[in-house]
Structure 1
Amino acid sequence: MTRSPTRRRLLALALASILAAPAWAQSIDPFTVSDIRVDGLQRISAGTVFTYLPVERGDRLDQAKAGEAIRALYKTGFFEDIRLDRQGDILVLTVVERPAINKLTVAGNKDLQTEQLMGSLKDIGLSEGETYDRMSLDRVKQELTRAYQNRGKYNVVIEPTVTKLDRNRVDIAINIKEGKAAKIRHVNVIGNDIFSDKDLLKGWESRPSNWLSWYRRDDQYSKEKLSGDLEKLQSYYLDRGYIDADVGPDNTQVSISPDKREVFITAGLTEGEQYKISTVTVSGDTVLPKEDIEKIVAVFVKPEQVFSRARLEAATDSITASLSNIGYAFAQVQPTPDVNRENRTVGIDMQVVPGPRVNVRRIVFKDNNRTKDEVLRREMRQFEGAWYSQAAIDRSKIRLQQLGHFSSVDIESKPVPGSNDQVDLEVKVKEENSGQVMLALGYSQLGGAQISAQLSENNFLGSGNRVSIAAMRSGYQERYDFSFLNPYFTDNGVSLGYNLFWNEFDYSDFNVAQYSTSSGSAQAFLGIPITEYDTVSWMMGIDSKEVLALSGQTPEVIVDYINAVGNQTFHSWRTQLAFARDTRNHALTPTFGTYQRIGLEATLPGSTVQYWKLDYQFSKYWPLSQALVLNTGFNIGYGDSYGKDFVRNLCYTPPTFVDSDNDGIIDVVTPGADPTVPCETTSPDFQKTVTATGLPFFENYYAGGVSTSGRVRGFVDNTLGPRVPNAYGYLQPLGGALKTIGTVEMFFPKLIDSPAARVSAFVDFGNVYKDFDSFSAKEFRVSTGIALMWRSPMGPITISYALPLRKEDDDRIERLQFTFTGAF
C-alpha cells in the first residue's frame, strides 16, 4: 500500500510530538556514509542541519541510526517533512521546511488584552519570525476557547487564517468573535439547614440578573468568580465554627442552556456540627513578653468562644504586625488546632516563629525621573540602617502619596543576597504632571479682547517647591499673581511661603454684586508640623483695596457701607492662624482617612476696618468596599466686625426729571448719596444715616457651582444667598457672613479601570446667610447628580451633571458644569 504525502506528513508530525515512540524511516541497507547532502533548504543553512544531525562522515548508518536522525531533525521544529535516501555512499536528506511567520495579528478581542494574548502566543511558540507549526495553532485555538469559556463566553468563535506568501512565509490572522457572556438565571444552595440561602449568597459575585447587574456585571458567569464564591461559602461556615463543613467544586453543578446563553448553578454542601474553642496557648520564641502576645491573642480569640477562622487570622496578623514593627520582617505565626470531635471543641496553640531581626540596608528610589531623591527621602519614616518597621513603611507610602506628585507608590522589600538579616527597600513611583498652564483668549463687546495666562508648578525643578505665576489682561481686569512655597524650609518640615498679587477689577464677571476694585497684597506664611498628622500654620500680610461704586449698577447697600466708612481705600494688616489634621491615604484620590481644618483670620488694630473670619472644614472617607467609597464633608464659615462701627449722616442730591433718551418718557435720575452736599441746604427728605458694621461686603462668603469653598452643584457659581437690587432693580448676589455647605458623595473607584479617573454620585446642600440671625435650614438648597473627575495628561478635568432637589423659582440653575486646567 502506498502512503499519500499528506498522510505521511501527518504521521511524521504525530511521531515528532511523541518523542518516546519509535521513529519512522524508510527501509535502508546499512552502509558507511562518505558524504552528506541536504536538499530542499530555503531559509535554514546546511550547517544548522549538521549541528542537529547525529550522523557524520565515516559513520555507519543502519535502520536504527536513520530513525534516530529523523527524530533529531523533527525535534528541532524546523521541518514539515524529512526523507532519507542513499546515492551510492552519499546520505541524501530531503527536507520540507516549515514556513516562517511573517506577521501575526489578533482582532476582535475585548476581554483579553492584545499584549496579554501576544505574550501567551509567544510562550506557545507562535510569534513573528518563528517557524509556523499547525499543531501550535490548534493548541492556541483550544487555549483561547478555554480561556473565554472560563469567562462565561461559551459562544466564542476562534477563526485562524493562514495566508501563504513567497519565500516560504505565512501571515497568520486570529479573528475572535467573543460573543456575550452567559447570564446567570438561578443560583441554588442545597444541604443548608442552619443558614438561609439569602445569608449564604450575600457576598457572592455570581448572582442572577438584577437591577444593578449593568454596573456590577455580577450576572455574567465566570469559572474564576464561582471558585471564589465557593471559597467565600467555605469561609462563611469556618468563621461560624463549622469546621467540618464540606463545600467545593465537586458538590457544585453548572448547567448551561442549549443556546449557551443562560447558566444555572447548584451548590451542594454539608454543614456538620459547630465547634467551640477549648484552650488558647502561645508557644515558640515570642520575642516580646509572652504576656503581651497573650493579650493580643485574647482580643480576638478566647476559650468558650465559637471557633472562627477570621478571628484566628486576625490574631495571627496582629502578632506578625507587632513583630514586624520592631524589625522581625519575616515573622510567622502558625496556629496549630487540636480538634476534639467527640466534644466538638478545638484547642489552639499559637506558635511564634520570629525569624531573624532585619535591618534596612538601603532605600532605592525608581522612576522618579523629575523628582529628586531628596524630595522622596525626606518623606520616608523608615530609615536606612534602622530596624525594619512595617508601620513606618506604610506611613512612608501614605506621605509620598499625599505629596500629589505621584499617581502610584509601591514599596517592596528585597532580601540582600547572602544575608538573612538585611533587606533593601525599593520605592517605585509613577510621576504625574505637576505643572499646569492655562491660556485663555476671548472677546466681548463690553471688555473687548482679553487674554489670561497662569503657570503653576507644584514640583519646581523636582525640588518639591511650589511656584505659581498668573497674569490676566482685558478691558475690565488686570491681575498679576506670584506665590512660592518651600515645604521643607527646615529639615524637620517647617514650611515657608510668600504671596504677592495686584488686581485691578473694573467689572465683576463672577456673578457677584458689581463694583470695581484696585487691590494689592503681600503675605508670608509659616507651617509647623506638630505631629505626623497635625500642622499649625500662621500667616501675616498687608494689603490695600480701593473700592469704587459703579453708577447705577452697584447696589445701594455697598454704596452706603463705603460712604459710612468715609474712605474708598481699605488698608489692612491681616493675620491668620490655622490648625489642620490630615489622615487621608492619598492627596488626590483618597479612599480612607479624614481631613479637617480650622482657621481664624483677622485684621489687626490700625486697619481701616476691623473684622474676623472663622472657618471649619471637615471631610471623611469611608471605604465601604473595594468598589464603593463614601465621602461626607461640610464647610462652615462665619465672620463679623469687632471694635467700633462706622455711622455717618449723608445727604442726597434731589432727583431730576429728564427725558434722557428723547423717547417721550420722563426718566427719574437719582444720583444717590453725595458726602459733598451740605445737609443744611438739603431737605430732610433727602437725608440719610448710613452704618458700616459686620463683615465687609468684599469679604463675604459665596455658594453655588463647582468651587470647592462653596460647592453646591447644579446652581450657577456664587448665586446662592442674599441678593440686593441695584438702581435699576436688577438683583445681584451679595454673599453673606455665614456659610453652611455640605456634601455626601459616593465614589466608584472600580467603575473606570484607571487610577486617574473616578466617577461619583453626590448630594450637595447648603447656602449662605447675611448673619447668624438669618440662618434657616428651610433655606438650604439641595442638589443631586453624578460627576467625573479625570486627571488627564493635559490636566485635571471635572464634569458634573446635577438636578436641584430644593430650589426657589428665582434661583439660577446650571445642570451641566465643568472645570478644566491645561497641564504641561
Structure 2
Amino acid sequence: MTRLPNRRLLALALTAAMAPALPALAQSADPFAPAEAPTANSPLASAGAFTVSDIRVDGLQRISAGTVFTYLPIERGDTVDSTKAATAIRALYKTGFFDDVQLDRQGNILVVTVQERPAINKLTVTGNKDIKTEDLMKGLKENGMAEGDTFNRLVLDKMSQELTRQYQNRGKYNVEINPSVSRLDRNRVDVTITVKEGKAARIQHINLVGNEKFADKDILDSWESGEHNWLSWYRRDDQYSREKLSGDLEKLNNYYLDRGYIDFNIDSTQVSISPDRRDMFLTAGVSEGDQYKVSSVQLTGDTVLPKEELQTMVLVHEGQIFSRRLLELTSDSIVATLGNVGYAFAQVNPVPDVDREAKTVGISLQVVPGPRVNVRSVVFKGNTRTSDEVLRREMRQFEGSWYSQAAIDRSKIRLQGLGYFETVDIESKPVEGTNDKVDVVVNVKETSSGSFVFGVGYSQLSGLSTQIQLSQENFLGTGNRVSVQAQRSSYQSRYDFSFLNPYFLDNGMTLGYNVWWRSLDYSDFGTAQYNSDSGAGQVVLGFPISETDTVSGLFGIDTNKINITNSTPAPIVDYLNALDAETFHAWRGELGWSRNSLDNLLTPSRGMQQRIWLETTLPGSTVEYYKLQYNISKFWPLSRHLVLNTRAELGYGDSYGDATTRNLCFTAGSLQDTDNDGKGDTFVPGPDPSEPCLTSSPDFDKTVTADGLPFFENFYAGGVRSVRGFRDNTLGPRESPRGNSNYLQPVGGAVKTTGALEMYFPTLLDTPAARASAFVDFGNVFKDVDSWDAGELRASTGLALMWRSPMGPISISYAFPLRKEDNDEIERLQFTFGGTF
C-alpha cells in the first residue's frame, strides 16, 4: 500500500514545483488572469533622465509605503532613466505583492502607482482523503498560500499541477483538482481547492519477458505491486504507484543477483493504462545471463580487530553461488562491529574479480576503518520541562568514551520508553577542526506527561464507571511518577495514591509507595455473591540487572473484611466458619523477574515480554498462602501485513500453613414455598452457630476445614482479557448456596491456564492508533492441581478491534466458542470503552 508523504516531504515537493514561479512576473489588471511578463510600459520608459527630489506611492491599501521603499532600488537624490525605471518595476513585481506597477514623474517627484494583489481571506480544501488536510495546508502555507497571504494565481495553478502529479503517483489517474477564487470586498478573495480523487487504477496484469530460469510467481512473490486478487481489498497490492514499481524493479534486480546472475539486466519497462484510466498493465523485459560461483574470498585492509574475529562474520565462502545479499550482510556486520568500538566512519568495500569464461567471481573485502572517534559531549535540545539529568541517565553513549552506534541506538530506545517525548532524534556532529571527535546531539519533542482526568467508561462487566485521576509521569521534570485516583462503578469503589522514583539510586534502583482502599461487590462482578472492603499500604522496589531484565520486590500490609449474604456459596461460608473470622490481615511480600524486548510498548510488532512473580503472605498473617504466576507474550513479524502474537498466562496458588478444622452445630432449617405453588421447594438453613458444637445431640452437625488458597484470592477466566466469547469470570468451578443446588455461582480456582494465538493486521486500518486482529483463545481455571484436565479447556475464535480513540481506549471483539459445555455462559459480542474530558 502506498504510504502518504509526511509533511516535510510534501512541503519540499510543492516548493520544488513552485521554484520557477517565485519571481512574480504578472502585471495584468485582472488579478485572476494568468500572469504575463512585465514590460517597461511606464511613462518613464521613454522619458529623459532626471534627479529624484522626492518619492510618492499611490494605490496602497494593505501594504505600507515603507515596504515599497524597502524593495524600490531608487532613493531621493538618484538619477533615474528608462533603464533604471525598468529595473525598479521588475524589483517591485518580484515581491509578488502587486498586479500592476507604473512609474511616473511630476516635476522631479517620482510617482509609483501600484495595484495590490488581493489578500487571501479564507483557504478551503475539500474532497481530499489520500493526502491529509493538515499536510496539504502546511505545504500550501510554505508556498505562500495561506489565509492572510497575498494571492498569486500562478502559484495556485502550479500547486494544482503538483497535486495532480502527487495523486497520479499513487495510481489515481482520474483525479481532478479544481481551484476556484471568489472576489470579496476590500480587495480580498476566498480560495477553494476541490479535490475529486477518484479510484486508484488497478493492476490487471504483470508480464515478465525473458525470464527462463525462474517462474513469474516466484519472482513476483516479494513485490509490493501485484495483480488484482481477492485479498487486494486488504493488501492494496493492485494499486499502481510509480514509487512502488521502482522499488519492485530493484527487488527484481536483487532477486537475480542474490542467485548468482551478475550479468542480469532489465532491458525495458512499460506501463500502459486502459482508455478509462482504471486498469494498468506492467511489462518488464529482462536478460538473465549466466550463473556465477565464488572462486575466492579475501579480507584485506586495516581490520583493527583480530582478522580471525572479523573472518567469522564473512558469510560468503568459496564454492558458493554468488549472492549480493550475503555480501551486503557481511559488510554491514563488519561495519557495525567496528562502529561499536569507535570507528564511526568505517567502510567495507567489496571488490569483485569477474572471470566470465569460468563463470566465477573472486571477492576482496577491503576494510577501511577511518579514524577512531571519541565523543566530546552529549547535548540535549528541546527538553524545556524535563531536566538534563533525567535524559542523561538513560544514555548508554557516554561523554569522553569511544563512539558506539549500538550504544546510541539503545539510548534512543530507552528515551522513547520514558513516555515523556513525542519524538527522539539523535545525530552525531563532527567537531570542527578535528576528524576524530564528534558531539552527540539528542533532539526531543516533549509531550504532555501529566493529566487531570475526569473519565466515564462502560463495559459489559462493570457497567457505567466514573473516574477522577490526577497524575504526573514526570513530576516537576524529575522523572518521578505521582498519581491520585478515585474510581466508582456498579461493583467497586476504589481510591489510590502512588509514588515512584525510577532512579532512587544512581544504579537504577526503583523505589515506590502504594496506598489504596476498595469496596467490591462480587455479585456484580460476575462471580460468587459476597462483598469485601479492603485496603493496603505497600513499598515497591526494582533492580535492573540488564538492559531488558528487572528484578522487583514488594512489601505491604493489607486488610480484607468479607461480608456474606444468604446467597453466598456454601464452601465460602464453610471456609469462614472454619477460621471463625470475617476480617483477614496480612503481611505480604512479592518477588518477581521481568524481561521486555518489545520494539514498541503500544503497538509492538516484534520482541517478547515475560514476567514471573511469587506473591506470599508472611507468617503471622490470618491466612498463610502463596501465588506463583507467569505471563509471556511474543510477537512474530510474518510480513508487512501480518504480525503473530502468541501469549500464555499460568497461575498456581496454595496455602503453606496447617489446615484449620472446626465442628459446627446447626439449627434445623425448613423448606419454604418461594414460588407460591403451595409446596415447599427451597431449603433455608437455620443460623450458623458462633461457637463449636457443645451438645451431644444437635439437630445436625458438620465439620468444616479451611485449607488451600483462600477463596478471595482465586484465579478467574473468561471475558475480554482472557477467553473471549465467554462471560467475564464465569469459567471454572461453580458452587451453590446451602439448600439451593440449582443456583450455581463461579468461585474461581487455584490453578489458571489461559493462552491465545492472535494475528494482527497492521496495514488494514492504516493508523497506528488502531489494530484489527483475528484470534484463537483457550483456557480455564481449576479447583486445584489434581483437578487440572486438558479436556476441560475452553476455546473460542473471532475478530477484535483495539482503538486508542480521542474518547479513550476501545476494545471490541466478536467470538464463537469452539469448545464449551452446556452450563457455560456465552457472550459473543464483548466491548469496553472509556473516555476523558
2:735 to 724, 734, 748: 724
Quick one: distance in 1 between partners of 2:373 and 2:783?
Answer: 62
Task: Give the equivalent residue in structure 1 for 2:21.
Answer: none
The amino acid of 2:575's aligned partner reads Y
1:614-633 C-alpha deviation (Å, 9 max, x unpaired): 21111112222344322111
Task: Give the equivalent residue in structure 1 for 2:403.
Answer: 388
Q: Shift in Å at residue 379 of structure 1?
A: 1.9
Task: Give the equivalent residue in structure 1 for 2:610.
Answer: 596
Quick one: distance in 1 between partners of 2:81 and 2:377?
Answer: 64
Residues 657-736 of structure 1 aligned to structure 2 (within 5 Å) = 664-666=678-680, 668-671=683-686, 673-674=688-689, 676=691, 678=693, 680-682=695-697, 686-707=700-721, 711-727=722-738, 728=740, 729-736=742-749
Task: Give the equivalent residue in structure 2 for 1:216.
Answer: 235
Change (3 A) 1:590 1:409: farther
1:176-230 C-alpha deviation (Å, 9 max, x unpaired): 2221111111112111101111111111111122222222221111111111111
The amino acid of 2:728's aligned partner reads D
Quick one: distance in 1 between partners of 2:685 and 2:45?
Answer: 128
Task: Give the equivalent residue in structure 2 for 1:774.
Answer: 787
The amino acid of 2:499's aligned partner reads F
CA contact (8 A) 2:269 2:283 kept: yes
Q: Which one is further off, 202-211 or 807-816?
A: 807-816
1:591-642 C-alpha deviation (Å, 9 max, x unpaired): 3222222222233344333322221111112222344322111011111223
Q: Shift in Å at residue 313 of structure 1?
A: 1.3
The amino acid of 1:153's aligned partner reads K
Change (3 A) 1:458 1:757: farther
CA contact (8 A) 2:235 2:641 kept: no
1:752-771 C-alpha deviation (Å, 9 max, x unpaired): 44444433332221110111
Change (3 A) 1:120 1:544: closer
Confirm whether residue 621 of structure 1 aligns to residue 638 of structure 2.
Answer: no
1:441-479 C-alpha deviation (Å, 9 max, x unpaired): 99xxxx9x9976555544444433334444567998665
Task: Give the equivalent residue in structure 2 for 1:801.
Answer: 814
Change (3 A) 1:580 1:652: same
Q: Shift in Å at residue 244 of structure 1?
A: 1.5
Q: Which one is further off, 659-668 or 325-334?
A: 659-668
Confirm whether residue 510 of structure 1 aligns to residue 525 of structure 2.
Answer: yes
CA contact (8 A) 2:491 2:525 kept: no
Q: Shift in Å at residue 270 of structure 1?
A: 1.2
1:459-511 C-alpha deviation (Å, 9 max, x unpaired): 44443333444456799866544333322221111222333344455664211
The amino acid of 2:796's aligned partner reads S
2:377 to 344, 362, 381: 362
Task: Give the equivalent residue in structure 2 for 1:254.
Answer: 271
Q: Is the partner of 1:352 in helix, strand or coil?
A: strand
Residues 186-265 of structure 1 aligned to structure 2 (within 5 Å) = 186-247=205-266, 251-265=268-282
2:310 to 293, 310, 327: 293
Q: Which runs of 5+ in 1 are unaligned?
A: 17-22
Task: Give the equivalent residue in structure 2 for 1:353.
Answer: 368
Quick one: distance in 1 between partners of 2:417 and 2:31?
Answer: 65
The amino acid of 2:388's aligned partner reads D
Confirm whether residue 278 of structure 1 aligns to residue 295 of structure 2.
Answer: yes
Q: Is the partner of 1:236 in helix, strand or coil?
A: helix
Q: TM-score, normalised by structure 1?
A: 0.85
**Cα RMSD after superposing both structures:** 4.1
Quick one: distance in 2 between partners of 1:432 and 1:505?
Answer: 33
CA contact (8 A) 2:468 2:487 kept: yes
Task: Give the equivalent residue in structure 2 for 1:142.
Answer: 161
Task: Give the equivalent residue in structure 2 for 1:19.
Answer: none
CA contact (8 A) 2:379 2:439 kept: no
Residues 72-87 of structure 1 aligned to structure 2 (within 5 Å) = none
1:570 to 566, 584, 593: 584
Would you say how many aligned residue pairs link Structure 1 and Structure 2? 798
Confirm whether residue 325 of structure 1 aligns to residue 340 of structure 2.
Answer: yes
Quick one: distance in 2 between partners of 1:460 and 1:344?
Answer: 67
Q: Is the partner of 1:155 in helix, strand or coil?
A: coil
Change (3 A) 1:176 1:470: closer
Q: Shift in Å at residue 557 of structure 1?
A: 1.2
Q: Which runs of 5+ in 2 are unaligned?
A: 1-26
CA contact (8 A) 2:474 2:481 kept: yes
1:721-751 C-alpha deviation (Å, 9 max, x unpaired): 1111124432111101110010122233344
CA contact (8 A) 1:187 1:264 kept: yes
Confirm whether residue 110 of structure 1 aligns to residue 123 of structure 2.
Answer: no
The amino acid of 1:431's aligned partner reads T
Quick one: distance in 2 between partners of 1:606 and 1:119?
Answer: 67
CA contact (8 A) 2:31 2:153 kept: no
Quick one: distance in 1 between partners of 2:657 and 2:70?
Answer: 102
Change (3 A) 1:763 1:178: same
Task: Give the equivalent residue in structure 1 for 2:19.
Answer: none
1:761 to 774, 796, 801: 774
Q: TM-score, normalised by structure 2?
A: 0.84
Residues 298-317 of structure 1 aligned to structure 2 (within 5 Å) = 298=314, 300-317=315-332
Quick one: distance in 2 between partners of 1:475 and 1:150?
Answer: 54
CA contact (8 A) 1:398 1:586 kept: no
Change (3 A) 1:54 1:305: farther
Task: Give the equivalent residue in structure 1 for 2:72.
Answer: 51
Quick one: distance in 2 between partners of 1:53 and 1:6?
Answer: 24
Task: Give the equivalent residue in structure 1 for 2:7.
Answer: none
Quick one: distance in 2 between partners of 1:511 and 1:284?
Answer: 71
Change (3 A) 1:337 1:820: same
Q: Is the partner of 1:323 in helix, strand or coil?
A: helix
Q: Shift in Å at residue 13 of structure 1?
A: 6.0
Change (3 A) 1:325 1:57: closer
Task: Give the equivalent residue in structure 2 for 1:465.
Answer: 480
CA contact (8 A) 2:551 2:592 kept: yes
